Amino acid sequence: MAPSNLTLRVATAFVMLPILLFLLFRGEPWWWLAFLLVAACTTAALELYGMVYPGDRLAQGVGVLSVGLVTLSVYVWPEHPTMLFLTILLLPAVAVVLALWRLRDLQPAALQLMTGAFGPLWIGGGVGAVALLRKLGGVEGPGLALMTLVLAWGSDTGGYFAGRAFGKNRLYEKVSPKKTVEGAIGGVVSAIVFALANRALFVRSLSIRDTVMLAVLGGILGIFGDLGESLIKRSTGVKDSGGIVPGHGGMLDRIDAVLITAPLTLAYWLALH
């Protein structure tokens, strides 16, 4: 008998969580960056560009390169606004050239064009924020980076169980038929609980009020991140972005909310400091 989806989710978490915690709390900051570049950036970029440029390895390679460069720019030059300014200016140009160069059919061209400009900022910027929090937070850096994961995955876990137990009212059926209002509320509550626990263990300088506020914002925006990725999948006729994460689908399926909670956490932390 094949294992259930829940069993696969638990097994995946059991395997991956110790690795993440070791890299965050025992490894050097560049270990964390290297892991994110390989495991998150490359895989998620291949999945995204694989959906909008199916079968086009060259276009997918350009996408991976663009995403990785944005992550490195965020991590290496966080205090140089010129780099961000140039990135924002250049990405649309790269997207236009890529869409015209690899044009096969006019119907998906608009999506390909927008993905070329938006994808690197979305994935590369989000992953870069997770890496940067580990570096900028000092002794609390590992806990801050973990907070981004806690907000996203805590909300996802709470939403999963609350939706199964109480879900009746569809949240956005056209995009994600299984998501419910009750699940979304459970997800936000769960994000608050997980964030407070993470704060008590690793980020004591963050006040309880700020933790709760960050958790509420992260829980809500994380849902939008999940729905946004579902929108891309449905528009391209794909059920899962990939199959690399058992029980969850692809890497993009696993980090879609993180790509929202990470920039939010970074912005909130910088505003407080």
Which segments within 26-109 are labelled E, that is strand? none
Judged against a pLDDT cut of 70, whether residue 80 lies above it is answered with yes
Top pLDDT among 249 and 55 is at: 55
What is the rounded CA–CA span in Å between residue 267 and residue 273?
10
Q: How does residue 81 score in pLDDT terms, banded at 50, 70 and 90?
A: confident
What is the rounded CA–CA span in Å between residue 204 and residue 214?
14
Domain that holds residue 67: 5-272
Tens of pLDDT, residues 52-68: 999 999 999 999 999 99
pLDDT reported for residue 34: 95
Top pLDDT among 263 and 248 is at: 263
For the chain, the domain total comes to 1
pLDDT reported for residue 1: 42
Please give the average per-residue pLDDT across 85-108, as a whole number.
89
Tens of pLDDT, residues 178-236: 899 999 999 999 999 999 999 999 999 999 999 999 999 999 999 999 999 999 988 88
Please give the average per-residue pLDDT across 33-58, as a whole number.
94
For 245, counting Cβ atoms within 10 Å of its Cβ (0-12 exposed, 13-18 middle, 19+ buried), the class is buried
Q: How does residue 2 score in pLDDT terms, banded at 50, 70 and 90?
A: very low
**Contact by Cβ (8 Å): 187, 219:** yes
Over the chain, what is the mean pLDDT? 89
Region of residue 76 (left: phi > 0; alpha: psi -120 to 50; beta: else): alpha
Q: How does residue 273 score in pLDDT terms, banded at 50, 70 and 90?
A: confident
pLDDT reported for residue 247: 59
Q: How does residue 6 score in pLDDT terms, banded at 50, 70 and 90?
A: low
pTM attached to this predicted model: 0.91
Please give the average per-residue pLDDT across 255-268, as a whole number.
94
Share of the chain above pLDDT 90, in %: 63
Tens of pLDDT, residues 120-178: 999 999 999 999 999 988 899 999 999 999 999 889 889 988 988 998 999 988 888 88
**Contact by Cβ (8 Å): 202, 139:** no
Share of the chain above pLDDT 70, in %: 96
